[in-house]
Amino acid sequence: EAQVTQNPRYLITVTGKKLTVTCSQNMNHEYMSWYRQDPGLGLRQIYYSMNVEVTDKGDVPEGYKVSRKEKRNFPLILESPSPNQTSLYFCASSPLPGTSAEAFFGQGTRLTVV
Amino acid sequence: DAKTTQPPSMDCAEGRAANLPCNHSTISGNEYVYWYRQIHSQGPQYIIHGLKNNETNEMASLIITEDRKSSTLILPHATLRDTAVYYCIVRSGGYQKVTFGIGTKLQVIP
């Protein structure tokens, strides 16, 4: 089954404690992306990657890092989480934009930073 | 990518057609129009996409105006399970950022 898997689904952590949210896709997609969703602000793109070792900033990259060492994985790293990073996070993958293909989204990670 | 404008909310009676508009007046020639929906806080789900012709699949129809500056997503017989937030986005191959707005919250009423 084609899917994007995020882990963990729920996480409560303390300010400053480094964490990683994993994202894995099994569709051999080139393009992967991270979004955060906050009430009233819709989905905002954090980072995206067009292929292995190719990443770029989205609209709200501050406080986040990503890496793309393998095609299937695109972890989101918060080196020093702060309460304003409390949010619902989604990972997505698709073939490269422009190939008129749909994006698949993970089920989300609800992060709370206290 | 072109920006899109959608009404923040709409209601639709169960069994009736739901017509969700989207304005994308700055769309360029190589940009596709995509529609996704998000039920509660689940991951967004793809519905349909198109370039300039009208499209139909098992979920919905997409009507794109001739000048491509706006489109309408049609759910022909809305059910309670169609209650969700619907996002209209445009994306192309040359510019890789994808921008989702706040979407339209569709409430299907029994």
Instruction: Collect all residues of chain B within an 8 Å Cβ-Cβ radius of residue A42.
Output: 87, 100-103
Instruction: Collect all residues of chain A within an 8 Å Cβ-Cβ radius of residue B97.
Output: 45, 48, 58-59
Beta-bridge partners for A47: A34, A57
What average pLDDT score do residues B9-25 get? 97
Nearest Cα residue to B100 out of B58, B19, B46, B28: B46
* pLDDT at res. B56: 97
For residue range B36-65, list pLDDT tens digits in order. 999 998 999 999 999 998 999 999 999 999
> A30 in contact with B at a CB cutoff of 8 Å?
no
Q: Quick one: pLDDT band at residue B99, thresholds 50, 70, 90?
A: confident
Position B95 pLDDT exceeds 70: no
CA distance to partner chain B, nearest, from residue A62 (Å): 16
Q: Quick one: pLDDT band at residue B98, thresholds 50, 70, 90?
A: confident
- B104 vs B29, residue with greater confidence: B104
Nearest Cα residue to B87 out of A58, A41, A12: A41
> B44 in contact with A at a CB cutoff of 8 Å?
yes
Three-state DSSP class for B65?
coil
* pLDDT at res. A98: 55
- B94 vs B79, residue with greater confidence: B79
Position B20 pLDDT exceeds 60: yes
Three-state DSSP class for B47?
strand
Three-state DSSP class for B2?
coil
Q: Which residues of chain A are modeled with pLDDT < 50?
A: none
* pLDDT at res. A79: 96
* pLDDT at res. B28: 85
**DSSP label at residue B59:** S
Q: Quick one: pLDDT band at residue B94, thresholds 50, 70, 90?
A: low
Binning chain B into helix, strand and coil, the percentages to the nearest 5 are: 5, 45, 50
A vs B, Cβ pairs < 8 A, gives 68
Instruction: Collect all residues of chain A within an 8 Å Cβ-Cβ radius of residue B60.
Output: none
Concatenated DSSP letters of chain A? ---EEEE-SEEEE-TT--EEEEEEESS--SEEEEEEEETTTEEEEEEEEEETTEEEE-S--TT-EE--SSTTB--EEESS--GGG-EEEEEEEESPTTS----EE---EEEEE-
Query: Is the Cβ pair B97, A45 closer than 8 Å?
Result: yes
